[in-house]
Structures are given as C-alpha cells and as structure tokens.
C-alpha cells in the first residue's frame, strides 16, 4: 500500500469519526437557543463551512503564487484540489443559509452585501473550473488558472467584512463581533469542535482530488512519450496470409 493511499485512508477515518462526534455534539450537547430553538443548530455547519471555504480559497491563491514562481505541477494540483473543495463548502453555505433564514427572517434570500458577495464568490470559482476546461494547452491552463485563483481570492475578505462594513439583513458576527456579541461557552466549544471536523473533511476532499490530478498528469506524460516515439502505441502490422492449402487459408479458385 502506497504512502498516499495510507494517508488517504487515515484522513478518511479521522474525518468520519470527527464528523460523527460533531453531529452528536450539535444535537445532544449544544444547548437550545432561546429564540430560534432547534433551527439554530444549523449554525454549526453553516458557519464552519464558510470559515473552511475561506481557508480553501486561501490555499488556492497561495498555490497560484507558488506556481507562478516555481512552475511546479504539484502547486497546480493543490490549487485545483482546494478550489473544488472550497466550491463544495460554499455550496453547503448557500444551501444551509436559506434553510436557516426562512423560519427566522420569513424569507429565503435577500440581496444584501454578505449574501450577494458569497454568491459572487461561488460563481467566481465555478468560472475557475470552467476556465481550466476551456484552455487545452496544459502549461497555459496552469498559468491562467493560477493567475485567476489569485484574482478570485479578492472576494474572500469582502465576504468576511461585509457585515462589518455595511448594514445587512445577515446577523452580526458572534465571534469577534465587538461589544454585545458572543456565544454561550458550550456553544462556542461545539462550534470550534465542529470546525475541526469540517477542516478534516476539507483535508480528505483536497487529498483525494490532488491524487486524481497527479494521475492525470502522469497519464499525460505517458501519452506524450508515446507520441514522441512515433505513434499511438506499438505499430500494428497486417496479418500474414497463411500458405495456400494451409488451415485457415483463403480459397480463391472456384474449381476447388
């Protein structure tokens, strides 16, 4: 068993156990919120998915910078792996947000600064993946996606600061939100425990996608090597005709 496969197995086991423990903590350890009650429990997944998506897109930007400096394919693999994981987590944010908002606000969606900037972020990383599909040349694709990954990261601090810079429908932050903000100590402990579980899940998704990109790269190198040797694999020769009269020989004389 290779080291990568062993690491992947270990990461999956850790993430599965941690997510199961986090689920138990969310439903059975975290106290009931006095105004929203059970619907508030979605907060633990919604917030931690958003935080981890921010980490994922930071990795994309860092990998892009490293690729433009070093031109190592491993940096490109890391960038696309983190981008896909971050996009999945942002999708979770955009799904859990309206589910939480509807019974609390009475609406599913509003185009305020936080929600709109998050939706734009989601679209920007969909565009990142589409650009990679549209650019066929591998070297040019790596450069373009690295540069775009750095550019798209500009929306991450806007999403984070939106509820601090503008008045929005979205609630003010409960962590680091200034005077009047804060969480019950048990809620805070469950929140950060759940965040650890979501980070572990992010590590699993990123590692699996990184390995897939590495396999694709090796396949591309083998195809190039095959083409450089003069064709698509081993040349195929026409089968030799068996001697006349031998078993399997073609009979062409109509009198025989």
Q: What is the pLDDT of residue 163?
A: 82
79 with 67: CB under 8 angstroms?
yes
Domain positions in the chain: 3-29+41-223
Q: What is the mean pLDDT of residues 161-180?
A: 71
What pLDDT is stored for residue 1 in this prediction? 47
pLDDT tens readout for residues 111-128? 988 999 999 999 999 999
Poorest-confidence range of 5-9, 34-38, 236-240?
236-240
| Average pLDDT over the chain, rounded to an integer | 86
Nearest to residue 51, comparing CAs of 192, 163, 251, 244?
Answer: 192
pLDDT at 223 over 70: yes
The average pLDDT across 196-207 equals 97
Q: Output the pLDDT for position 140.
A: 94
Alpha carbon dihedral 244, 245, 248, 252, in 10-degree steps, equals 60
**pTM score of the predicted model:** 0.83
More confident residue, 28 or 255: 28
């Amino acid at each position: 068993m290779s080291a990568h496969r062993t690491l992947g197995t270990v990461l999956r086991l850790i993430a599965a156990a941690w997510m199961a423990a986090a689920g138990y903590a969310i439903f059975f350890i975290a106290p009931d919120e006095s105004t929203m009650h059970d619907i508030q429990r979605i907060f633990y997944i919604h917030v931690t998915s958003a935080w981890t998506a921010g980490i994922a897109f930071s990795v994309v930007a860092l990998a892009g910078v490293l690729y433009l400096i070093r031109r190592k394919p491993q940096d490109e693999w890391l960038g696309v792996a983190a981008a896909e994981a971050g996009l999945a987590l942002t999708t979770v944010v955009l799904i859990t947000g309206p589910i939480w908002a509807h019974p609390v606000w009475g609406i599913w969606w509003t185009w305020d600064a936080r929600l709109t900037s998050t939706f734009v972020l989601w679209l920007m990383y969909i565009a990142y993946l589409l650009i990679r599909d549209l650019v066929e040349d591998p070297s040019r694709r790596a450069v373009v996606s690295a540069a775009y990954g750095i550019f798209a990261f500009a929306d991450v601090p806007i999403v984070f600061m939106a509820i601090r810079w503008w008045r929005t429908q979205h609630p003010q932050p409960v962590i680091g939100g200034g005077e009047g903000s804060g969480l019950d100590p048990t809620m805070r402990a469950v929140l950060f425990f759940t965040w650890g579980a979501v980070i572990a899940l992010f590590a699993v998704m990123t590692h699996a996608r990184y390995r897939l990109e590495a396999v694709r790269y090796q396949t591309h190198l083998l195809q190039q090597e095959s083409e450089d040797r003069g064709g698509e694999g081993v040349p195929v020769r026409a089968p030799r005709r068996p001697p006349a009269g031998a078993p399997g020989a073609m009979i062409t004389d109509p009198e025989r």
